[in-house]
């Protein structure tokens, strides 16, 4: 049975072997949904606290990297006395297939939800084959 009150857990992003993080802060691996449609693939990622100014998406060869920076916010004159939610940055890396038209990738973010549209290249789109009587 689906538990509507399931506990949300953050997963820390891994660091490649032999590499070290430059900043001494947590980096989380955001949850994503990937939905494949006929002409495109849609990737949505949960990045609470990230907006267009703190989001960086890079594409190098076939690797797309999503990085979001989050700074803790407190009202003026206040400091954190107790916190159950740990603030950290986000990072997720994907290898794209040649089926993606890399020149037409689009990204939008709203309320901490990234929407990444990965259009399929013309050669990868399904098409109907006409049949004629011989």
Q: In the prediction, which pLDDT does 25 show?
A: 74
Number of neighbouring beta carbons within 10 Å of residue 115: 13
| pLDDT tens digit sequence for 28-83 | 999 999 999 989 999 999 999 999 999 999 999 999 999 999 988 888 999 888 88
Q: Quick one: pLDDT band at residue 6, thresholds 50, 70, 90?
A: very low
Q: Which carries the bigger pLDDT value, residue 26 or residue 63?
A: 63
Query: Which residues, other chains included, contact 23 with Cβ-Cβ below 8 Å and sequence gap of 6+?
Result: 89
Domains, the chain, ranges and CATH? Answer: 23-73+83-123 (2.60.40.790)
| pLDDT tens digit sequence for 70-128 | 988 888 999 888 888 778 899 999 999 999 999 999 999 999 999 999 999 887 666 77
DSSP of 8-61, one letter per residue?
P--EEPP--TT---SSSS-EEE--EEEEE-SSEEEEEEE-TT--TTSEEEEEET
Q: Which residues pair with 36 in a beta bridge?
A: 41
Task: Write the DSSP symbol of residue 96.
Answer: P
Residue 25 · residue 85 · CB < 8 Å: no
Residue 12 has pLDDT above 70, yes or no: no
Residue 16 has pLDDT above 60, yes or no: no
Number of neighbouring beta carbons within 10 Å of residue 10: 16
């Amino acid at each position: 049975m689906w538990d509507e009150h399931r506990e949300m857990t953050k997963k820390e992003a891994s660091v490649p072997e032999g590499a070290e993080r430059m900043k001494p802060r947590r980096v989380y691996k955001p949850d994503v949904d990937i939905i494949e449609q006929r002409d495109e693939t849609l990737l949505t990622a949960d990045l609470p606290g990230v907006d267009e100014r703190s989001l960086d998406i890079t594409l190098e060869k076939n690797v797309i990297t999503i990085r979001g920076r989050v700074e803790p916010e407190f009202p003026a004159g206040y400091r954190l006395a107790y916190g159950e939610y740990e603030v950290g940055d986000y990072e997720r890396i994907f290898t794209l297939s040649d089926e993606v038209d890399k020149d037409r990738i689009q990204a939008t973010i709203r309320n901490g939800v990234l929407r990444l549209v990965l259009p399929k290249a013309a050669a990868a789109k399904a098409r109907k084959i006409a049949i004629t009587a011989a």
